[in-house]
């Protein structure tokens, strides 16, 4: 079944007739043709004028029909939507470059482990609206909430350390994510906040941000990433000790508890994966089957036909004579 997305475009159909009726005729001297084109058009113009007008009118009708965006409704497709909005806030401050996360028998940076594990977590959230916030000195919305979880995973994979600055603005990240989550009439709003440090930047304290998130109905799961105290780390090839007090565990635990979420400690890649599995179990995918009837655009067909008909109106014979 064909329908039109912009049917009001058909109001343009009488435009050529209105122009013919209302505009004054062009003066005889307005068109000046070279002497070798004018005789050819004069000899062929009388017979050609009979079919040029109907073709021109048909081309105009097809062009207007294309502008009205004809669409064909495809067969319905099953669509699973949970009604949940999930935002992932990832720390991209300078300390995320520390290489203390064992992954696949090698030591990788904290951010590399997040990309590998959180990317898989995002890709599995089919049915959820998922968004991505990156924060360092400032917090930025990298990907708005969308059902296209594959795109969100690609955006995370393409992110880089230091993209939002070298410090850590926990409070700003919570406020930004909560702001976008609260705009949706979702049954459940979830924020997964991942960081390896303490709040060192931003315009709002994490505790105040947590209160705003709670008021907006946002449940926050916090993940503290990084090796436990006493271990030796590598950052840019330099071996340094890793004090666990670099991670503000008490603040992250308080944020999670205050909003009805949970705090997870991820000292290695395995614990990070366990944290995401636990969140996946705590926030199961609700089955909300719906029917989606996609619409396929069909405007290229009338547009192409209008262009072809328009080409037949060109004075090809006179143009060939002019070229010789």
- Mean pLDDT is lowest, of 47-61, 77-91, 154-168, 238-252, for 238-252
Average pLDDT of span 251-279: 84
Average pLDDT of span 208-225: 89
> Is a pLDDT exceeding 80 seen at residue 47?
no
- What is the pLDDT, as a whole number, of residue 26? 63
> Is a pLDDT exceeding 80 seen at residue 148?
yes
- What is the pLDDT, as a whole number, of residue 324? 64
The string of DSSP letters for 205-273 reads: -HHHHHHHHHHTTEEEEEEEESPPTTEEEEETTEEEEE-GGGS-HHHHHHHHHHHT--EEEESSHHHHH
211 pLDDT tier (thresholds 50, 70, 90): very high
- What is the pLDDT, as a whole number, of residue 151? 87
Mean of all residue pLDDT scores within the chain: 77
Domains assigned to the chain: 2-74+294-323 (no CATH), 79-289 (3.40.50.410)
Which pLDDT tens digit goes with each residue over 82-91?
A: 557 788 898 8
Place of tokens 């979830």: 190
- What is the pLDDT, as a whole number, of residue 49? 60
> Is a pLDDT exceeding 70 seen at residue 273?
yes
- What is the pLDDT, as a whole number, of residue 164? 75
Average pLDDT of span 82-102: 79
- What is the pLDDT, as a whole number, of residue 246? 63
- Mean pLDDT is lowest, of 35-39, 166-170, 253-257, for 35-39
188 pLDDT tier (thresholds 50, 70, 90): confident
Average pLDDT of span 250-263: 89
> Is a pLDDT exceeding 60 seen at residue 40?
no
> Is a pLDDT exceeding 70 seen at residue 29?
no
Q: Which residues fall within 8 angstroms of residue 11, CB to CB, at 6 or more apart? A: none
Q: Which residues fall within 8 angstroms of residue 324, CB to CB, at 6 or more apart? A: none
Average pLDDT of span 169-175: 90
Strand-strand pairing, 188-195 and 295-297:
unpaired
- What is the pLDDT, as a whole number, of residue 230? 43
Q: How far is residue 6 from each of residues 2, 9, 51, 56, measured CA to CA in Å?
A: 12, 6, 30, 23
- What is the pLDDT, as a whole number, of residue 239? 46
Average pLDDT of span 28-46: 50
The residue with greater pLDDT, 24 or 16, is 16
Cβ pair 101, 112 in contact under 8 A: yes
Other C-beta atoms lying within 10 Å of the C-beta of residue 289 = 9
Q: What angle do CA 131, 98, 114 make, to 5 degrees?
A: 25
Most confident range (mean pLDDT) of 74-83, 122-131, 148-157, 271-280 is 148-157
176 pLDDT tier (thresholds 50, 70, 90): very high
- What is the pLDDT, as a whole number, of residue 165? 78
Q: Which residues fall within 8 angstroms of residue 296, CB to CB, at 6 or more apart? A: 71, 72, 74
Alpha-carbon gap, residue 203 to 287, rounded angstroms: 39
Question: What is the distance of C-alpha 129 from the center of its chain?
Answer: 11
Cβ pair 100, 226 in contact under 8 A: yes
Average pLDDT of span 244-273: 81
């Amino acid at each position: 079944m064909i329908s039109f997305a912009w049917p009001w475009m058909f109001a343009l159909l009488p435009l050529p007739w209105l122009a013919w009726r209302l505009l004054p005729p062009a003066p005889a001297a307005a068109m000046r043709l070279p002497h070798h084109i004018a005789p050819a058009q004069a000899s062929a113009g009388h017979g050609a004028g009979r079919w040029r007008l109907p073709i021109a009118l048909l081309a105009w009708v097809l062009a207007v029909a294309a502008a009205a965006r004809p669409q064909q409704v495809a067969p319905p497709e099953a669509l699973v939507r949970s009604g949940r909005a999930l935002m992932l806030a990832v720390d991209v401050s300078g300390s995320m470059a520390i290489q203390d996360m064992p992954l696949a028998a090698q030591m990788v940076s904290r951010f590399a482990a997040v990309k590998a594990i959180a990317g898989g977590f995002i890709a599995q959230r089919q049915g959820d609206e998922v968004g991505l916030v990156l924060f360092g000195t400032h917090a930025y919305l990298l990907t708005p909430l969308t059902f296209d979880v594959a795109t969100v995973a690609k955006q995370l994979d393409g992110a880089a350390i230091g993209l939002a600055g070298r410090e850590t603005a926990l409070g700003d990240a919570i406020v930004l994510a909560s702001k976008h989550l609260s705009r949706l009439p979702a049954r459940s709003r979830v924020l997964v906040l991942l960081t390896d440090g303490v709040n060192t930047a931003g315009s709002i304290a994490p505790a105040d941000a947590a209160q705003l998130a709670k008021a907006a109905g946002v449940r926050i799961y916090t993940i503290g990433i990084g090796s436990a105290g006493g271990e030796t780390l590598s950052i840019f090839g330099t071996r340094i000790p890793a004090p666990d007090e670099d991670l503000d565990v008490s603040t992250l635990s308080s944020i999670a508890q205050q909003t009805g979420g949970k705090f997870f400690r991820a000292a290695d890649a395995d614990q990070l994966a366990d944290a995401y599995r636990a969140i996946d179990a705590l926030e199961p995918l609700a089955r909300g089957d719906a029917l989606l009837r996609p619409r396929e655009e069909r405007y290229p067909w009338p547009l192409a036909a209008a262009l072809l008909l328009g080409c037949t109106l060109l004075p090809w014979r006179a143009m060939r004579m002019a070229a010789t």
